[in-house]
Chains A and B, each alone.
Chain A
Amino acid sequence: MGIDLLFKIAGVGILISVFHIALKQAGKEDMAHLCTLAGFTVVLYWVVQLLGRLFSTVQDVFKLF
């Protein structure tokens, strides 16, 4: 995994916050929220994949199946 993913998540967070501010200043608040939600979904997808790997590792370590 490395530290790359953390930097990727931080980068996406920064860019999504810029998106949010730009859209909010243009008066498109609904689009701003939609954009934040899209960024959150992308990051959640990455994190869920890692959590899946974590759970399978725990299963392997304790010989749960």
Chain B
Amino acid sequence: MWIKVIGALMIIFAGISLGFIAAFRFNERPRQIRQLQSCLTSLKTYINYTVMPLPEALAASCEGINGPVRDFFSCSANMLAQNPMITPQQAFVQSILQLKGQLLLEQPELDLLTTLGANLGKVNCEEQEKYLDMVSQQLANIEIEAVQTRDENVKMCRYLGICGGLLIVIVLV
């Protein structure tokens, strides 16, 4: 009897956890996009006004924020600093691959970052500024879409997790 009760509680707890983890992923994506926007704005400043080299600019642009986006920028900066032969695009792609589980960005944002990497450090400051402006604009559009998706899905995931756990318990008992 007690084993059944404990098993049922464990199944319900697992269902609730799954629901909340799925909801967290929907919650986290707009936050990471916002962090990315703020880092890109800082990066634009460091490129245009301070005229810093790219590895230093990348490392400096993520100061003040926490989490996987900071890790992404510092990882790219480290790669570029340690290996001068690597292009910014390769550094971005490798950082994305390294932080695959933590960086909860989806394909459109990742594609934007990859193309941004292809254009960084190759043209003059003004062109880079224009390109960073364009990327920020596109990120703002993606953020609006991500917020809509979050509003639709967060509650649903929580309800489905809790009810799914209860349903499994009822069917198994």
Which A residues form the contact surface with B (CB < 8 A)?
Answer: 8, 11-12, 15-16, 18-19, 22-23, 25-28, 42
CB of B162 to closest CB in A, whole Å: 9
CB < 8 Å A-B pair total:
35
CB of A44 to closest CB in B, whole Å: 13
Is the beta-carbon distance between A22 and B159 smaller than 8 angstroms?
yes
| B156 on interface, CB distance cutoff 8 Å | yes
| B100 on interface, CB distance cutoff 8 Å | no
Please, which residues of chain B bring their CB within 8 A of the CB of A15? 163, 166-167, 170
Please, which residues of chain A bring their CB within 8 A of the CB of B171? 8, 12, 42
| B interface: dominant SS | helix
Is the beta-carbon distance between A25 and B170 smaller than 8 angstroms?
no
Which B residues form the contact surface with A (CB < 8 A)?
Answer: 152-153, 155-156, 159-160, 163, 166-167, 170-171, 173
Please, which residues of chain A bring their CB within 8 A of the CB of B160? 19, 22-23
Please, which residues of chain A bring their CB within 8 A of the CB of B155? 22, 25-26
Please, which residues of chain B bring their CB within 8 A of the CB of A27? 152
Is the beta-carbon distance between A18 and B170 smaller than 8 angstroms?
no
Bound: A9/B165 CA distance, A: 16
Among candidates B152, B153, B163, B173, residue contacting A18 with C-beta atoms closer than 8 Å: B163
Please, which residues of chain B bring their CB within 8 A of the CB of A18? 159, 163
Some 23 contacts from A to B, beta carbons below 8 A apart, are: A8-B171, A8-B173, A11-B170, A12-B167, A12-B170, A12-B171, A15-B163, A15-B167, A15-B170, A16-B167, A18-B163, A19-B163, A19-B167, A22-B156, A22-B160, A23-B156, A23-B160, A25-B156, A26-B152, A26-B153, A26-B155, A27-B152, A42-B171
Other A-B pairs beyond A11-B166, A18-B159, A25-B155, 4, CB < 8 Å: A12-B167, A19-B159, A22-B160, A26-B153
Which 6 pairs of residues, A with B, have the shortest CB-CB distance?
A22-B159, A26-B156, A11-B170, A15-B163, A15-B167, A26-B152
